[in-house]
Chain A
Amino acid sequence: MTSRPAFRRFAFGFGTAFAVLYVVALAKKLALFTVYPSLGVVLWGTHFSGDVVDPALGFLAPAMYWYGWTGTAALGALVVGLLAVVIPERWARRLWRGWLWVVPAAAMLGCVYLTLPWFSLNP
Protein backbone atom coordinates (compact mmCIF):
# COMPACT_ATOMS: atom_id res chain seq x y z
CA MET A 1 0.00 0.00 0.00
CA THR A 2 2.69 2.44 1.03
CA SER A 3 4.70 1.95 -2.11
CA ARG A 4 1.94 3.44 -4.25
CA PRO A 5 3.31 6.51 -6.00
CA ALA A 6 0.13 8.48 -5.38
CA PHE A 7 0.29 8.04 -1.62
CA ARG A 8 3.99 8.82 -1.62
CA ARG A 9 3.44 12.06 -3.51
CA PHE A 10 0.57 13.00 -1.20
CA ALA A 11 2.66 12.33 1.90
CA PHE A 12 5.64 14.31 0.64
CA GLY A 13 3.49 17.19 -0.59
CA PHE A 14 1.42 17.31 2.59
CA GLY A 15 4.41 17.26 4.94
CA THR A 16 6.39 19.98 3.23
CA ALA A 17 3.38 22.19 2.50
CA PHE A 18 2.19 21.94 6.10
CA ALA A 19 5.54 23.16 7.39
CA VAL A 20 5.48 26.21 5.11
CA LEU A 21 1.81 27.00 5.72
CA TYR A 22 2.18 26.62 9.47
CA VAL A 23 4.84 29.32 9.57
CA VAL A 24 2.68 31.54 7.35
CA ALA A 25 -0.33 30.97 9.62
CA LEU A 26 1.80 31.74 12.65
CA ALA A 27 3.31 34.88 11.14
CA LYS A 28 0.04 36.23 9.78
CA LYS A 29 -2.08 34.99 12.69
CA LEU A 30 -4.32 33.00 10.36
CA ALA A 31 -6.09 30.65 12.72
CA LEU A 32 -8.88 28.59 11.19
CA PHE A 33 -10.62 28.82 14.55
CA THR A 34 -9.97 30.27 17.98
CA VAL A 35 -10.48 28.31 21.18
CA TYR A 36 -11.48 29.91 24.47
CA PRO A 37 -10.89 27.07 26.91
CA SER A 38 -12.19 28.85 30.01
CA LEU A 39 -15.48 29.65 28.26
CA GLY A 40 -15.75 26.40 26.31
CA VAL A 41 -16.21 28.43 23.14
CA VAL A 42 -14.76 27.84 19.67
CA LEU A 43 -15.10 30.59 17.06
CA TRP A 44 -14.28 30.42 13.37
CA GLY A 45 -11.32 32.53 12.37
CA THR A 46 -8.88 34.53 14.45
CA HIS A 47 -10.41 36.38 17.38
CA PHE A 48 -8.78 38.14 20.26
CA SER A 49 -9.89 38.06 23.86
CA GLY A 50 -11.05 41.66 23.61
CA ASP A 51 -13.48 40.59 20.90
CA VAL A 52 -15.51 38.36 23.20
CA VAL A 53 -15.18 40.06 26.59
CA ASP A 54 -14.43 43.54 27.80
CA PRO A 55 -10.75 44.28 27.01
CA ALA A 56 -10.11 44.93 30.70
CA LEU A 57 -11.30 41.39 31.44
CA GLY A 58 -9.40 39.79 28.59
CA PHE A 59 -7.29 37.75 31.00
CA LEU A 60 -10.45 35.90 32.06
CA ALA A 61 -10.93 34.52 28.56
CA PRO A 62 -7.53 33.50 27.25
CA ALA A 63 -7.58 32.67 23.56
CA MET A 64 -5.75 29.71 22.02
CA TYR A 65 -4.60 29.83 18.43
CA TRP A 66 -2.37 26.74 18.14
CA TYR A 67 -5.28 24.50 17.17
CA GLY A 68 -6.42 27.04 14.61
CA TRP A 69 -2.95 27.49 13.09
CA THR A 70 -2.65 23.72 12.84
CA GLY A 71 -6.08 23.55 11.21
CA THR A 72 -5.21 26.27 8.71
CA ALA A 73 -1.95 24.59 7.74
CA ALA A 74 -3.56 21.14 7.57
CA LEU A 75 -6.32 22.39 5.29
CA GLY A 76 -3.88 24.08 2.93
CA ALA A 77 -1.49 21.13 3.01
CA LEU A 78 -4.36 18.79 2.20
CA VAL A 79 -5.02 20.76 -0.98
CA VAL A 80 -1.33 20.73 -1.90
CA GLY A 81 -1.11 17.01 -1.14
CA LEU A 82 -4.08 16.26 -3.37
CA LEU A 83 -2.58 18.40 -6.14
CA ALA A 84 0.66 16.46 -5.77
CA VAL A 85 -1.29 13.26 -6.40
CA VAL A 86 -2.57 14.42 -9.77
CA ILE A 87 0.69 15.80 -11.16
CA PRO A 88 2.48 13.52 -13.60
CA GLU A 89 4.96 11.10 -12.04
CA ARG A 90 7.80 12.39 -14.24
CA TRP A 91 7.38 15.89 -12.76
CA ALA A 92 7.39 14.52 -9.24
CA ARG A 93 10.60 12.61 -9.91
CA ARG A 94 12.39 15.83 -10.83
CA LEU A 95 11.88 17.25 -7.35
CA TRP A 96 14.78 16.84 -4.96
CA ARG A 97 13.71 14.50 -2.15
CA GLY A 98 15.83 16.48 0.30
CA TRP A 99 13.14 19.18 0.39
CA LEU A 100 11.24 16.75 2.57
CA TRP A 101 13.50 17.53 5.53
CA VAL A 102 15.06 20.86 4.46
CA VAL A 103 11.69 22.65 4.27
CA PRO A 104 10.45 21.50 7.71
CA ALA A 105 13.85 22.30 9.24
CA ALA A 106 13.69 25.79 7.73
CA ALA A 107 10.11 26.14 8.97
CA MET A 108 11.26 25.25 12.47
CA LEU A 109 13.88 27.99 12.27
CA GLY A 110 11.12 30.31 11.12
CA CYS A 111 9.14 29.38 14.22
CA VAL A 112 12.19 30.14 16.36
CA TYR A 113 12.46 33.57 14.73
CA LEU A 114 8.77 34.30 15.31
CA THR A 115 9.07 33.22 18.94
CA LEU A 116 12.08 35.44 19.69
CA PRO A 117 9.93 38.30 21.08
CA TRP A 118 9.03 36.07 24.03
CA PHE A 119 12.65 36.08 25.11
CA SER A 120 12.87 39.85 25.22
CA LEU A 121 9.96 40.19 27.64
CA ASN A 122 12.06 39.47 30.69
CA PRO A 123 12.27 42.49 33.02
Chain B
Amino acid sequence: MPTVLVIIHGLVAVALLGAITHQTLSTWAPASPRPGSFFGRFRTVPSPAFTNAIIVLYAITATLGAIVYLYFRVDIRPAMEQANRWELLGFFDLKEHFIAIGLALLPAYFVCWRPPPGEVSTRTRTALTSLLAFIVWWSFLIGHVMNNIRGFGE
Protein backbone atom coordinates (compact mmCIF):
# COMPACT_ATOMS: atom_id res chain seq x y z
CA MET B 1 0.00 0.00 0.00
CA PRO B 2 2.69 2.60 0.88
CA THR B 3 4.49 1.82 -2.36
CA VAL B 4 1.33 2.41 -4.40
CA LEU B 5 0.66 5.64 -2.54
CA VAL B 6 4.20 6.94 -2.99
CA ILE B 7 4.08 6.19 -6.73
CA ILE B 8 0.76 8.03 -7.13
CA HIS B 9 2.18 10.84 -4.96
CA GLY B 10 5.16 11.06 -7.30
CA LEU B 11 3.07 11.03 -10.46
CA VAL B 12 0.75 13.79 -9.25
CA ALA B 13 3.83 15.76 -8.18
CA VAL B 14 5.23 15.49 -11.71
CA ALA B 15 2.01 16.94 -13.12
CA LEU B 16 2.13 19.74 -10.53
CA LEU B 17 5.77 20.43 -11.31
CA GLY B 18 5.01 20.78 -15.01
CA ALA B 19 1.99 23.01 -14.50
CA ILE B 20 3.64 25.42 -12.08
CA THR B 21 6.83 25.60 -14.14
CA HIS B 22 4.81 26.52 -17.23
CA GLN B 23 2.95 29.20 -15.31
CA THR B 24 6.00 30.63 -13.56
CA LEU B 25 8.12 30.90 -16.69
CA SER B 26 5.28 32.41 -18.71
CA THR B 27 4.78 34.93 -15.90
CA TRP B 28 8.44 35.90 -15.68
CA ALA B 29 9.11 35.95 -19.39
CA PRO B 30 5.99 36.08 -21.56
CA ALA B 31 6.67 34.62 -24.98
CA SER B 32 6.36 36.53 -28.22
CA PRO B 33 3.25 35.84 -30.34
CA ARG B 34 5.31 33.64 -32.64
CA PRO B 35 7.80 31.76 -30.50
CA GLY B 36 10.53 30.07 -32.46
CA SER B 37 12.34 28.00 -29.85
CA PHE B 38 11.27 25.22 -27.54
CA PHE B 39 11.76 27.55 -24.58
CA GLY B 40 9.60 30.13 -26.31
CA ARG B 41 6.80 27.66 -26.97
CA PHE B 42 7.07 26.38 -23.38
CA ARG B 43 6.09 29.87 -22.19
CA THR B 44 3.24 30.26 -24.65
CA VAL B 45 0.55 29.18 -22.23
CA PRO B 46 -2.42 31.06 -20.82
CA SER B 47 -1.08 31.40 -17.26
CA PRO B 48 -4.43 31.95 -15.49
CA ALA B 49 -5.77 28.72 -16.97
CA PHE B 50 -3.25 26.75 -14.88
CA THR B 51 -4.37 28.16 -11.54
CA ASN B 52 -7.17 25.76 -10.68
CA ALA B 53 -5.18 22.75 -11.84
CA ILE B 54 -2.21 23.81 -9.73
CA ILE B 55 -4.37 24.26 -6.64
CA VAL B 56 -6.03 20.86 -7.05
CA LEU B 57 -2.74 19.10 -7.82
CA TYR B 58 -1.00 20.79 -4.87
CA ALA B 59 -3.81 19.78 -2.51
CA ILE B 60 -3.79 16.17 -3.75
CA THR B 61 0.00 15.93 -3.60
CA ALA B 62 0.11 17.39 -0.09
CA THR B 63 -2.64 15.06 1.11
CA LEU B 64 -0.95 11.98 -0.32
CA GLY B 65 2.35 13.18 1.11
CA ALA B 66 0.77 13.60 4.54
CA ILE B 67 -0.44 9.99 4.41
CA VAL B 68 2.86 8.60 3.14
CA TYR B 69 4.68 10.62 5.82
CA LEU B 70 3.24 8.27 8.47
CA TYR B 71 4.97 5.28 6.85
CA PHE B 72 8.11 7.34 6.36
CA ARG B 73 8.32 8.14 10.08
CA VAL B 74 8.00 4.52 11.13
CA ASP B 75 9.83 2.62 8.40
CA ILE B 76 12.28 5.00 6.74
CA ARG B 77 13.42 7.68 9.13
CA PRO B 78 14.81 5.36 11.83
CA ALA B 79 17.02 3.72 9.22
CA MET B 80 18.19 7.14 8.01
CA GLU B 81 18.98 8.13 11.60
CA GLN B 82 20.99 4.97 12.14
CA ALA B 83 22.89 5.73 8.95
CA ASN B 84 23.64 9.27 10.25
CA ARG B 85 21.93 10.91 7.25
CA TRP B 86 20.99 13.90 9.39
CA GLU B 87 21.48 16.46 6.65
CA LEU B 88 18.97 14.65 4.44
CA LEU B 89 16.48 14.47 7.29
CA GLY B 90 16.99 18.21 7.75
CA PHE B 91 16.27 18.84 4.08
CA PHE B 92 13.22 16.62 4.33
CA ASP B 93 11.96 18.53 7.38
CA LEU B 94 12.33 21.75 5.41
CA LYS B 95 10.25 20.21 2.65
CA GLU B 96 7.45 19.51 5.13
CA HIS B 97 7.61 23.04 6.54
CA PHE B 98 7.60 24.65 3.09
CA ILE B 99 4.70 22.52 1.90
CA ALA B 100 2.58 23.54 4.90
CA ILE B 101 3.29 27.23 4.27
CA GLY B 102 2.53 26.80 0.58
CA LEU B 103 -0.70 24.99 1.29
CA ALA B 104 -1.96 27.91 3.35
CA LEU B 105 -1.05 30.31 0.53
CA LEU B 106 -3.29 28.57 -2.01
CA PRO B 107 -6.41 30.69 -1.28
CA ALA B 108 -4.37 33.89 -1.73
CA TYR B 109 -2.76 32.48 -4.86
CA PHE B 110 -6.26 31.74 -6.18
CA VAL B 111 -7.35 35.30 -5.49
CA CYS B 112 -4.19 36.75 -7.04
CA TRP B 113 -4.90 35.08 -10.37
CA ARG B 114 -8.52 36.24 -10.38
CA PRO B 115 -8.44 39.77 -9.06
CA PRO B 116 -10.57 42.69 -10.10
CA PRO B 117 -8.39 44.90 -12.31
CA GLY B 118 -5.87 46.84 -10.27
CA GLU B 119 -6.50 44.94 -7.02
CA VAL B 120 -3.34 42.86 -6.95
CA SER B 121 -0.13 43.96 -8.60
CA THR B 122 1.56 41.80 -11.18
CA ARG B 123 4.67 41.83 -9.00
CA THR B 124 2.80 40.30 -6.03
CA ARG B 125 1.23 37.66 -8.25
CA THR B 126 4.57 36.82 -9.85
CA ALA B 127 6.33 36.66 -6.49
CA LEU B 128 3.67 34.43 -4.95
CA THR B 129 3.69 32.11 -7.95
CA SER B 130 7.48 31.94 -7.85
CA LEU B 131 7.41 31.15 -4.14
CA LEU B 132 5.03 28.26 -4.77
CA ALA B 133 7.18 27.10 -7.69
CA PHE B 134 10.23 27.07 -5.41
CA ILE B 135 8.34 25.04 -2.81
CA VAL B 136 7.18 22.54 -5.42
CA TRP B 137 10.64 22.15 -6.96
CA TRP B 138 12.35 21.83 -3.57
CA SER B 139 9.82 19.26 -2.38
CA PHE B 140 10.00 17.28 -5.58
CA LEU B 141 13.79 17.09 -5.60
CA ILE B 142 14.16 16.25 -1.91
CA GLY B 143 11.35 13.69 -2.06
CA HIS B 144 12.90 12.15 -5.15
CA VAL B 145 16.36 11.93 -3.58
CA MET B 146 14.93 10.48 -0.37
CA ASN B 147 12.97 7.89 -2.31
CA ASN B 148 16.07 6.96 -4.27
CA ILE B 149 18.08 6.47 -1.11
CA ARG B 150 15.50 4.36 0.67
CA GLY B 151 12.30 3.81 -1.24
CA PHE B 152 9.38 1.79 -0.03
CA GLY B 153 8.60 -1.85 -0.70
CA GLU B 154 11.68 -3.43 0.84
A residues near B (Cβ < 8 Å) are 2-3, 7-8, 10-12, 14-16, 18-19, 22, 26, 35, 37-38, 59, 62, 64, 66-67, 69-70, 73-74, 77, 97-98, 100-101, 104-105, 107-108, 111-112, 115-116, 118-119, 121-123
Instruction: Output the nearest chain A residue to B85 by Cβ-Cβ distance.
Output: A122
B154 at the interface (CB under 8 A from A): no
Q: Within the assembled complex, what's the spacing in Å between the Cα atoms of A62 and B94?
A: 19
CB contact under 8 A between A62 and B78, given known A10-B107, A119-B90: yes
Q: Within the assembled complex, what's the spacing in Å between the Cα atoms of A51 and B24?
A: 46
* Residues of chain A lying within 8 A (CB to CB) of residue B128: 100-101
* Residues of chain B lying within 8 A (CB to CB) of residue A59: 78
B111 near A105 (CB under 8 angstroms)? no
Q: Among B8-16, B37-45, B115-123, which stretch is in contact with chain A? A: B115-123
**CB contact between B110 and one of A2, A67, A73, A122 (< 8 Å): that residue:** A2
Q: Within the assembled complex, what's the spacing in Å between the Cα atoms of A111 and B101?
A: 10
A12 near B104 (CB under 8 angstroms)? no
Instruction: Output the nearest chain A residue to B77 by Cβ-Cβ distance.
Output: A62
Instruction: Output the nearest chain A residue to B126 by Cβ-Cβ distance.
Output: A101
A contact patch SS: helix
Q: Within the assembled complex, what's the spacing in Å between the Cα atoms of A16 and B121?
A: 17
Can you list 25 contacts pairing A with B, beta carbon distance less than 8 Å? A2-B111, A2-B115, A7-B107, A11-B108, A22-B97, A22-B101, A37-B70, A62-B74, A66-B96, A66-B100, A97-B120, A97-B124, A98-B127, A100-B108, A100-B124, A100-B127, A100-B128, A104-B105, A108-B98, A108-B101, A111-B94, A111-B97, A111-B101, A116-B90, A118-B89
A15 near B108 (CB under 8 angstroms)? yes
What sequence of 0s and 1s flags, for each residue 61-81 of chain B, a beta carbon within 8 Å of any chain A beta carbon? 000001001110110011000
A12 near B90 (CB under 8 angstroms)? no
Q: Within the assembled complex, what's the spacing in Å between the Cα atoms of A108 and B42?
A: 29
Of listed A7, A73, A118, residue having the most chain B CB within 10 A: A118
B28 at the interface (CB under 8 A from A): no
* Residues of chain B lying within 8 A (CB to CB) of residue A37: 70-71, 73-74
* Residues of chain B lying within 8 A (CB to CB) of residue A98: 123-124, 127
